[in-house]
Amino acid sequence: MIAELGLAALWLAAALAALQLYAGAMAQRGHAGGLAVLVRPAAIVQGLACAFAFAMLLWLFAITDLSVKLVATNSHSAKPLLYKLTGAWGNHEGSMLLWVAVMALSGALIALVERRLPERTMLATLAAQAFVGLGFYAFLIFSSNPFERLVQPAAEGLGLNPLLQDIGLALHPPTLYFGYVGLSVAFSFAVGALLTRQVTPEFARVMRPWVLGAWVFLTLGITAGSYWAYYELGWGGWWFWDPVENASLMPWLAATALLHSASVLAARDALRAWTIMLGVVAFSMSMLGTFLVRSGILTSVHAFAVDPQRGTFILVLLALYIGGALVLFALRAASIAEGERFSATSREGALVFNNVMLTAILGIVLLGTLYPLLTEAFDVRVSVGPPYFNPAGAFFAVPMLLVMAVGPLLRWRRDSLGRIQRPIVLCGVIVLATTVAALAIGEMSILALLGLALSAGLAVASLLPLRGRRLRRVPLAVWGMVVAHFGLAVAVFGMASETAFSQERLAAVTVGETVRVGPWQVTLTEVLPNAGPNWTAIEGHLAASYAGGAPVELDPQSRSFWAPVQQTTESALATRWNGQLYAVVGSEAREEGAEARWQLRLWWKPFVTFIWYGGVLVALGGAIALVGRVGADLRRRTVRRRAAERRAEGTA
């Protein structure tokens, strides 16, 4: 009964989306009649219906209803309740339903609160939103029905992918989805604005909070995903340039560019076509990512359940949405003129430069991700990895970091470098000093050296906009920028430091033996088998002491799950303020007559945690800016209302 209720709600939501699209489209052509008033209510009820459908799915997972196919294939009665619930979206169908539900709820929110845009643009936006939604409803109902029943209820569920039985990963997909979906809203705004040719600063101000929100979630999602990959996959790396990772990085790059170009449009009425273009591209990248990981078209270490039929469905949706939006853009771009002019040395100039760099990095990542797909069409299997991405990305990232340090100090429209000579010299000195210091410490790759030097320069430069101001008077939006830029410097420092100073030891040790890595001494005290509710493992017990200090106990495991069959490595981490010790225990190597030796892999990674502290700071900066923007909007609205009330009193 619950499953049927959910499915019915899904159909209702789909029907409302159709109504929303039809009424919104008719309103564009000027003969909607009474229909136009239906658009907003349709969007609101659609959001509620879809959220209800998702709530029903959660309920089914909570009670482990094994007559529902999705529950039977992805859950198990023995699982803890938390993972039963997260199992609802830890699979293809459930995650698509979550996606649509979040998108429908955002549509409802726009319909409820957004009153600043011209009514026609608003209706066009909601129609575009409904158009995107309809495709996903069709996908769910016809190809990936989460509420499908089994003819015969299963005796027991098949379990959840053990890699996903982890709190980090349970929260990682929804976080990314909020990001993706926020970008779908930006996409709908861009299409709406193209349809009505209303690309104005006001439009940018309306779109900006959505982009900001999406960007905060994407940043958090990527940061969490990277940390999860780092400690769970057991290979000691934090970024693999895997297609699944790129799938979330590409929309983030596009959204970062969009965020900055929307700021130029909002403040200076320039970059109109470019902002719209980025709005289309940002959402296209999240769709493309979904397509790449769901269709099985690319082989990935993350290896999702793959299905060419679903791949085809998403490809058709891609063609409709992105193709349609790009055609519309090509037809209309000429008629939305570029707006105000500015000189190269100005705040706009710096933002444009970094926009171009971000877009270039996006192009590099996109090319590297799609290249294997292209060559496979000619029967050549290649894999593109760090040797391509790192230098190619850095080629554009380095000038971007340099301009990023200076940009926020420049004035809008026209400025001269002479005016900000002193901060430039200061940053240059810091960069040089760091370079010399790093060279004195030891040999390292040129990329690591550049990263260290630039991060130091950027960290100082990012604080300079606060100089000489009363801190309590600085607007939240500026605080947000400062925190985010500083966070990026912290993250870059972590990356560079990990690359430059990491030490690795791989050893086959007997129980009682001690291994040194960096300042650490690690002793294997014992190896024991261990078993959990649905896995067995061998567990190494290590005593690790930093520079002769008191030992910490570490228990890395090599786990085997049987429902479904999978092997995972549970690394063990010892975190200090200046870095992490990373330990992995591997298989046993036993020679005839000799004592058992265990493979032990140890890394000492100085300041590696700064990567994720930085990521969180970047997201925090976005959140501060978002609060500032929304707060300012609310204040403006209150002021306007008070003024209207006073006028009303005056005339009375």
Per CB under 8 A, contacts with another protein among 280-319 are: 280-281, 284, 291, 295-297, 306, 308, 311-312, 315, 318-319
Under rule CB under 8 A, residue 270 binds another protein: no
Tell which residue, 202, 59, 54, has the closest CA to residue 122: 202
Under rule CB under 8 A, residue 506 binds another protein: no
Alpha-carbon span 251 to 282, nearest angstrom:
5
Under rule CB under 8 A, residue 155 binds another protein: yes
Task: Give the interface segment with another protein, choosing from 18-26, 273-281, 430-438, 614-622 (CB under 8 A).
Answer: 273-281
Question: Is residue 496 a contact partner of residue 441, using CB atoms and an 8 Å limit?
Answer: no
3-state SS, 520-571, equals: EEEEEEEEEEEECCCEEEEEEEEEEEECCCCCEEECCEEEEEECCEEEEEEC
Q: Which is nearer to another protein, 202 or 307 (CB)?
A: 307
Q: Tell me the backbone φ, ψ of residue 561, rounded to 5 degrees.
A: -100, 155
- Least Å from the CB of residue 560 to another protein: 4
Under rule CB under 8 A, residue 244 binds another protein: no
Under rule CB under 8 A, residue 273 binds another protein: yes
Under rule CB under 8 A, residue 150 binds another protein: no
Task: Give the interface segment with another protein, choosing from 40-48, 272-280, 548-556, 574-582 (CB under 8 A).
Answer: 272-280
Task: Give the interface segment with another protein, choosing from 80-88, 139-147, 234-242, 529-537 (CB under 8 A).
Answer: 529-537
Per CB under 8 A, contacts with another protein among 172-231 are: none
CB hemisphere CA count around 603 (13 angstroms): 24
Q: CA 398, 402, 403: angle at the middle one, nearest 5?
A: 120
Under rule CB under 8 A, residue 74 binds another protein: no
Under rule CB under 8 A, residue 590 binds another protein: yes
Tokens at 2, concatenated: 């619950």
Cis peptide leading into residue 80 (ω within 30°) = no
Question: Is residue 498 a contact partner of residue 605, using CB atoms and an 8 Å limit?
Answer: yes
Per CB under 8 A, contacts with another protein among 340-379 are: 370, 373-374, 376-377
- Least Å from the CB of residue 338 to another protein: 12
Q: Which is nearer to another protein, 122 or 280 (CB)?
A: 280
- Least Å from the CB of residue 159 to another protein: 11
- Least Å from the CB of residue 330 to another protein: 5
Tokens at 59, concatenated: 């309920």
Size of the site for another protein (CB under 8 A): 48
Tokens at 300, concatenated: 């990935």
Alpha-carbon span 116 to 210, nearest angstrom:
14
Under rule CB under 8 A, residue 561 binds another protein: yes
Task: Give the interface segment with another protein, choosing from 28-36, 327-335, 476-484, 543-551 (CB under 8 A).
Answer: 327-335
Under rule CB under 8 A, residue 26 binds another protein: no
Region of 413 please: left (phi>0), alpha (psi -120 to 50) or beta. Answer: left
Helices (H), 296-380: 308-318, 324-332, 347-376
Task: Give the interface segment with another protein, choosing from 34-42, 213-221, 475-483, 559-567 (CB under 8 A).
Answer: 559-567
Alpha-carbon span 275 to 278, nearest angstrom:
5
- Least Å from the CB of residue 295 to another protein: 6
Instruction: Give residue 73's identity as a one-letter amino acid code.
Output: T
- Whose structure tokens read 């726009």? 110
- Whose structure tokens read 């002793």? 523
Given 417, 436, 439, 531, the residue binding another protein (CB under 8 A): 531
Q: At what angle do helices 272-295 and 243-268 cross, to 10 degrees?
A: 160
Site residues for another protein per CB under 8 A: 155-156, 273, 277, 280-281, 284, 291, 295-297, 306, 308, 311-312, 315, 318-319, 322-323, 326-327, 329-330, 333-334, 370, 373-374, 376-377, 529, 531, 536, 538, 558, 560-567, 587-588, 590, 592
